[in-house]
A and B are shown apart, each in its own frame.
Chain A
């Protein structure tokens, strides 16, 4: 035990610290907007508000930058209490169709969103059907901030999973409209919002990449976000958040690993000290068999 503790200790110490520092350097702005963007009249019945197409869904939020944020700054939307990992949801898609389009007739896996009015739907399935459709426009002061919405999906997805000649067809045409619509003239491989959305999240609280701001944001910059609050999270009591975040070599802001490492490391130091004290106080020579099983037994015999 002593050995284990001692051998683990010296090396990882700086590593742990570095982990924590790496996480600390990440600057993050998180703004929840789903509740506040509901007009006062609908505060008690948010579902009615979101389902009513005639009400404007535009909403403005102000974000204040506290610390310097170095480019690139990633824009995420975060959904809470949204089970994108539900088995029924995960299964309801057709990877073949996403690649081959209408040539692929078998959309049985897309139930219950496989066809509409006797015609197949491209892209089919619940995942595509529930596409997230809030949008954000950023201005700093009075100057619009340029947001790069290209290259937000995995390259492998774009190149190999979503067809370059597959165009949306018969999408969101039914009686039940789920989420966002797609431009039927853009092939799926270029519909990066869809591609991001279709890579389903593992946990019920998740962030998905919306775009990148490719210039630094400075402290005390005021950023105005004009957003359209289209997506229904009110039905199931979820939350919508907008996140601006820089990144480090460890990815986003996450203290867990660093804190955990430091905790384990310091416990090891503590335990090794205890054993050291015990050893100094009451040491046994190497190879001493006094307390070995057989000797103990002999005493009692």
Chain B
């Protein structure tokens, strides 16, 4: 067999009824009309040599994110340096020092400047070099490219050309934007992870054209020819317009066939694709914006101080010029030893005014020591060393992942101490984004004894309230929840299975057969094991099965089913195989279930069903879905456990768990056949209404279910999150959570991580109550709610009252509009915590900007996924969680930490220290320069203001750069006004810091 298939082929499209509907244009089979500006790109497939020279020469796949190259480095870096006021002053002074009136030798002016500029530029250069090396790494990644005669060979990414045919294997990144030709699946399907592009972790399905399906082995590309005409490079990730000319036919292309650079091939052995956009033409590169350079507040303030010093300098120069003018005019003619009759212009008593002007220039240089020339360099050095301390902090080292903290940009260190508002992502930041099967309700009985984080938090709260009245000063050390709260040790004797925290002797180890509703329990397990689209994968090292599921919930279900004794281990084109282990038989029974139909999950449907036939020929429809959806689709006789299950679901919901309801129904052969005919008719229908028809047919099937039970999965909080948030709140920080989750989940998590407390008054702003069609009415209602809430806070008498604001994404779109955003912000800043639900990545950025610009205070954004990049770049400080997956957030961030809880130490300890250090250092620096600079002035008064310098040249050069720099730098690096323990304990020290004692 050509190419050598690794896996049995499966028609994956069988699994999808909705997700990858053919685009309508395919049915029409009418190619896009591609002409005019913006649609000029022509790609000759498999003929990359045609793109080596004009007119079809496109950019290579070489990418460069560096700021400079060898030629532009000097001018550009110089320009950067001279954006600093002080450096301009010193440049002017250095030029003036070449004149004869200069009080110093040129060397003494130029040498320090050169040193300072050299150091700063060297730093720039090193940083850029690092970027270059990173690019180089990416550029030299290998990809398998078609050479000729059906032979594929490895090529570096940078050498890939438009028109090349590329073979990408599983878990590899696409080297450029590709047109999908075929995949290891027979129907040209493939799974793509786009986390680097949009931060979504679920897999996306891409599908090739029917016409290119046959190109499924290396050999096929021997004579492959084709021409793609398509749009020009553009940054839109979700659109693509183009036509493929192949075999004398023209096929329209749409985004479903485009594999974007920086996304990853998942669950698919390999794909073939033709390169369309390369390098900077690719959509992701077109999308990437230059990270804004962030300046810390102190640096901005420093500019003001420099201006102040410049003003002082000018005043002092004026005074000494005036003195010189007077003395030269009145006294100097009598100083015979100066031979005043033969004086040059600059010392001429006859022309005292010109002399004074001369002197003015000289004085301007003479008192230059008032301006701290090496301040910037020293600060950069100090910050670099401070960043080393942050990186080396053992208390911010995550032992599990082995990742230390990483201060990626050191120029924001001290800003950490000034943070006022934290904007946090939820999934992956506060939570682990690792689903844990925790509880379930089967046939009206709730199983699962472990407590969720929320329960623990609530219990902790109770215990707290018993032992103190919530006073502030309790901040001291002994509050770890494990001690206070629970007697059930979370770490059981058994090694825990990742994704499975369920614990209940009634169900485990086969004991479920002794429970009352054995049949339902069995069904429940089977639904878990059967109702999914996952693919099992044997891990060769451990010999265990892992599941490649579309969502982490599904993965958790499969692991749960496995632990219960229903191990799903194989999927073929038409069947699913399960090893069922019953307690009475020691050996597992292998069972095959024929998959008849699969109605997959979409966010609109909120449910998925499989219709299958077991070995006895019985046909079942198994369904799992959101509780509200399932409950309305139950049969009359299927509601036996409805009430109890509902109660359990609410409990689970309150405990911060994600819930799904499971149901089934039995079908007889005839019934199914009738339905299937309808279904096939709908599936093969041509025309725009196919989608509607399919939905209708599925609806017919997905009703009259019998409820089996419900599952509760926990998205576990990261370790130490509640305590960390607690501390940060005590430190007076406002914490906003921006999440894509729905309101209930977000609130539950809010409670779990002690962002919300029972005594807090919750303010909901929503747009659901009013008419969704009239935008004006909606806006008015929102505005009303905002003003009411603001009023309420204003009228609140209790000084300890705390408020929490909860708003959803749709409302937020209105609230962020120009006419309302300040009212909204005003309300939000009054609240101790703010939770925004269902927000898009863009809204995250907008909210961050609003807070940053509206309050004028320092904001910190923390997130882990690519969807947080906007927020991270927008905020004054961006923190990336470098834990589980995706480097996008970390790449965009200023600081990277492995766990959310390290944020506390980063802000409270390092923020405090760095701020104190930098501000004290600046004060010290300016003090030393003023002290030194003024000696020149005092001495001037004794030399008849003639412009004589008091010190020897070399002493002056060395003074700033060498003699006095080390004590200052030592202060800036090592100073600890209080120890880290005290910083953490007396959290209020931070508030003091925010009073901005500097300047």
A residues near B, CB below 8 A?
Answer: 82-83, 85-90, 111-113, 126, 129-130, 176, 178-179, 202-204, 232, 235-237, 289, 292-294, 297-298, 301
Contact = CB atoms under 8 A, between A and B. Distances in A.
A86 B946 contact: yes
A113 B339 contact: yes
B486 interface: no
Contact of A86 (B103, B336, B948): B948
Contact of B331 (A126, A232, A236): A236
B336 A294 contact: no
| B334, B338, B342, B944 interface centre (most CB from chain A within 10 Å) | B338
Contacts, number: 76
A87 B942 contact: no
A35 to B, nearest CB: 17
A85 B942 contact: yes
Contacts of A297: 991
Contacts of B468: none
A232 B986 CA distance: 74
Contacts of B331: 236
B992 interface: yes
B337 A293 contact: no
B336 A204 contact: no
Nearest to B359: A87
16 contacts: A83-B335, A83-B338, A83-B944, A86-B948, A87-B347, A88-B343, A88-B347, A90-B948, A126-B337, A126-B338, A130-B336, A176-B339, A235-B334, A293-B992, A294-B472, A294-B992
A293 B991 contact: yes
Interface string B334-359: 11111100111001000000000000
B712 to A, nearest CB: 41
Given A85-B942, A235-B334, 15 more contacts: A83-B943, A83-B944, A85-B948, A86-B948, A87-B943, A87-B946, A88-B338, A89-B337, A111-B344, A130-B337, A204-B943, A235-B335, A237-B334, A293-B988, A293-B995
Top 6 nearest A-B pairs by Cβ distance? A294-B988, A130-B337, A87-B946, A112-B342, A87-B948, A85-B943
Nearest to A203: B942
A294 B991 contact: yes
A14 B989 CA distance: 43
Residue of B343, B344, B347, B943 with highest tally of chain A CB at under 10 A: B943
A82 B944 CA distance: 10
Contacts of A85: 942-943, 946, 948
Contact of B799 (A88, A292, A294, A301): A301
Given A83-B943, A112-B339, A294-B992, A236 B948 contact: no
B947 A87 contact: yes
B942 A202 contact: yes
Contacts of A202: 939, 942, 950
B338 A89 contact: yes
Counting chain B residues whose Cβ lies within 8 A of the other chain, the interface size class is 20 to 34
A86 B943 contact: yes
A132 B18 CA distance: 108
Interface in B493-516: none
A113 B339 CA distance: 9
Contacts of B943: 83, 85-87, 204
Contact of A88 (B942, B946, B995): B946
A301 B992 CA distance: 15
Contacts of B944: 83, 86, 204
Contacts of A113: 339
Nearest to B340: A88
Interface in B930-948: 939, 942-944, 946-948
Nearest to A178: B337
Contacts of B988: 292-294
B472 A298 contact: yes
Contacts of B339: 112-113, 126, 129, 176
Interface in B946-961: 946-948, 950
A44 B331 CA distance: 20
Contacts of B939: 202
Contacts of A112: 339, 342-343
A232 B942 contact: no
A112 B942 CA distance: 23
Nearest to B335: A236
A213 to B, nearest CB: 29
Nearest to B988: A294
B264 to A, nearest CB: 49
A237 B336 CA distance: 11
Contacts of B337: 82, 89, 126, 129-130, 178-179
A85 B103 CA distance: 13
A90 B946 CA distance: 10
A113 B336 CA distance: 13
Nearest to B103: A87
Nearest to B336: A235
Contacts of A237: 334
A111 B342 CA distance: 9
Most buried by A among B103, B331, B339: B339
A178 B799 CA distance: 86
A297 B799 CA distance: 12
B816 to A, nearest CB: 31
Contact of B942 (A89, A111, A204): A204
Contacts of B472: 294, 298
B105 to A, nearest CB: 11
Contacts of A90: 948
A235 B339 CA distance: 12
A249 B538 CA distance: 91
A256 to B, nearest CB: 16
Contacts of A82: 337
Nearest to A237: B334
B568 to A, nearest CB: 57
A301 B343 CA distance: 72
Contacts of A289: 986
Contacts of A178: 336-337
A111 B943 CA distance: 19
Contacts of A83: 335, 338, 943-944, 946
Interface in B625-671: none
Interface string B978-993: 0000000010110110
Contacts of A203: 942
Nearest to A204: B942
A292 B986 CA distance: 11
A192 to B, nearest CB: 20
Nearest to A85: B943
B614 to A, nearest CB: 68
A301 B948 CA distance: 59
Contacts of A204: 942-944
A130 B335 CA distance: 11
A129 B799 CA distance: 84
A178 B336 CA distance: 8
B346 to A, nearest CB: 8
Contacts of B986: 289
Contacts of A126: 337-339
Contacts of B336: 130, 178, 232, 235-236
Contacts of B344: 88, 111
A292 B103 CA distance: 51
Contacts of B103: 87
Interface string B960-999: 0000000000000000000000000010110110010000
A294 B987 CA distance: 10
Given A87-B103, A88-B347, A236 B334 contact: yes
Contacts of B947: 87
Contact of B338 (A86, A176, A298): A86
Contacts of A176: 339
Interface string B10-48: 000000000000000000000000000000000000000
A90 B939 CA distance: 14
Choose among B337, B344, B986 the residue with the greatest number of A CB atoms under 10 Å from its CB: B337
A79 B930 CA distance: 32
